[in-house]
Amino acid sequence: MIEKTLSSEPIYSGRIINVRVDTVEGPNGITTREIVDHAHAVTIIPFETPNTVYLIHQFRKPVEQILIEAPAGCIEKDEDPFKAAQRELKEETGFEAMHMIKVGEMYMAPGFTNEYMHFYIASELTPGQTNFDNDETMHLKSYSVNAALEMIKKKEIIIGENLTRISNLEKNIIELSKQLKVLSNQLDESEKKDKINRVKIESLGKRLNVALAGKVQELREYQSIFLKKVKESIGDRSDIILSGDRFIFPSEIFFESASDQIEENGFIELKKIAKSLIDISKIIPREIDWVLRIDGHTDKRPIFNNNFPSNWHLSSSRAIKIVNFLISQGIPPSRLVAAGFGEYHPLIDGNSEQAYKENRRIEIKLTNR
């Protein structure tokens, strides 16, 4: 049956509690209730390991003795209980918990107070600095879970505020302790597997690097054969340069100035390149992923041509035209790459006619994709 409050008389107002006397009307008539308004609170059980917990030794004036308690404290105004639990754990133990879970909540003594307690379990603790209230003195000590529960049963831990309530959660604590132990074992096993996998991955990576290096070296051998064949087919021409792993052709061999149309002499040279490439492709193993790259380059003078907005467009279009012709000669499109570099990769810096001439070029290179 619900009691109706007729009046409320404040008796005391303090930092943690307020006391009032309410006059109420119930089923048996009018009577008074002495009520303690108490801030809601949190209690935290910090697990050092899945089998050990930290408890606090603290002198309590109302009972004139040192009691063994779990860390606890009041929730501040508008504070979230979880945040309060994190704060109180840090203040009273110095610990910060990587994991904190709520295991219960209850009214502490609803016969005379509205205090409401939230219970948490904290694990994977990181030590830090405590921050006691000015009127607090406490000492932290580690206990095995079984020892703490046994002390509750023997009333060696006797507390009205904390652990007598926690003893009602004994089954939860034991079960959670088991779960934490299982999780700890799973984490250890996972770390072992992860270590083994890392070793395997490192070993695989080394083998792949060796294999890749082998393929690159193998391609270089065929690259040398290709360069030799092209060199033989084009003859002893001073204007075509073999530079390292590529041939450098003056643009004038293939194109007129500011044009992307291949000239007749250009077709002759490209047919030689196509034949050499077809011959060498017959002996390159399938597992070697090779391509013939055609790079177009211009000099740095801006182009004055309505067909090409920039040297990017001209250099790219020239490379594409060469690629299309090589395809017509039987080179698979998947083995060809066209790239335009505009004027941005010159061989020679400067504004002389000689610099312009050498920078206008087509580079052809057999390489990996």
Average pLDDT, the chain: 84
What is the C-alpha separation between 271 and 252, in angstroms, rounded? 17
The pLDDT, as a whole number, for residue 199 is 64
Residues of the chain within CATH 3.90.79.10 domain(s) are: 41-168
Q: Which amino acid is at 240?
A: I
Q: How many CB atoms lie within 10 A of CB 149?
A: 20
What is the C-alpha separation between 52 and 144, in angstroms, rounded? 4
Per-residue confidence band for 162, with pLDDT thresholds at 50, 70 and 90: very low
The pLDDT, as a whole number, for residue 160 is 38
Pick from 171-175, 247-251, 256-260, 278-282: least confident? 171-175
166-188 mean pLDDT: 60
H/E element, 337? strand 336-340
Please check whether residue 181 is in contact with residue 50, taking contact to mean a CB–CB distance below 8 angstroms: yes
Residues of the chain within CATH 3.30.1330.60 domain(s) are: 221-368
What is the C-alpha separation between 272 and 89, in angstroms, rounded? 81
pLDDT beyond 80 at 73: yes
Per-residue confidence band for 167, with pLDDT thresholds at 50, 70 and 90: very low
What is the model's pTM? 0.45
Q: Please tell me the CATH code under which domain 41-168 is placed.
A: 3.90.79.10
Contacts of 131 (CB under 8 A, 6+ apart): 90, 91
SS3 253: helix
Q: What are phi and psi of 332, to 5 degrees?
A: -60, 135
State the first-to-last Cα distance of the chain, in angstroms, to the nearest integer.
Answer: 84
DSSP 153-164: HTTSS--TTTHH
Q: Is 80 left (phi over 0), alpha (psi -120 to 50) or beta?
A: beta
pLDDT beyond 50 at 16: yes
The pLDDT, as a whole number, for residue 321 is 95
What's domain 221-368's architecture? 2-Layer Sandwich (3.30)
pLDDT in tens, 303-347: 877 889 999 999 999 999 999 999 999 999 999 999 999 999 999
Q: Which of 249, 184, 245, 147 is nearest to 49 (CA)?
A: 184
Please check whether residue 358 is in contact with residue 347, taking contact to mean a CB–CB distance below 8 angstroms: yes
pLDDT in tens, 75-128: 998 999 999 999 999 998 899 998 888 888 899 888 899 999 999 989 889 988
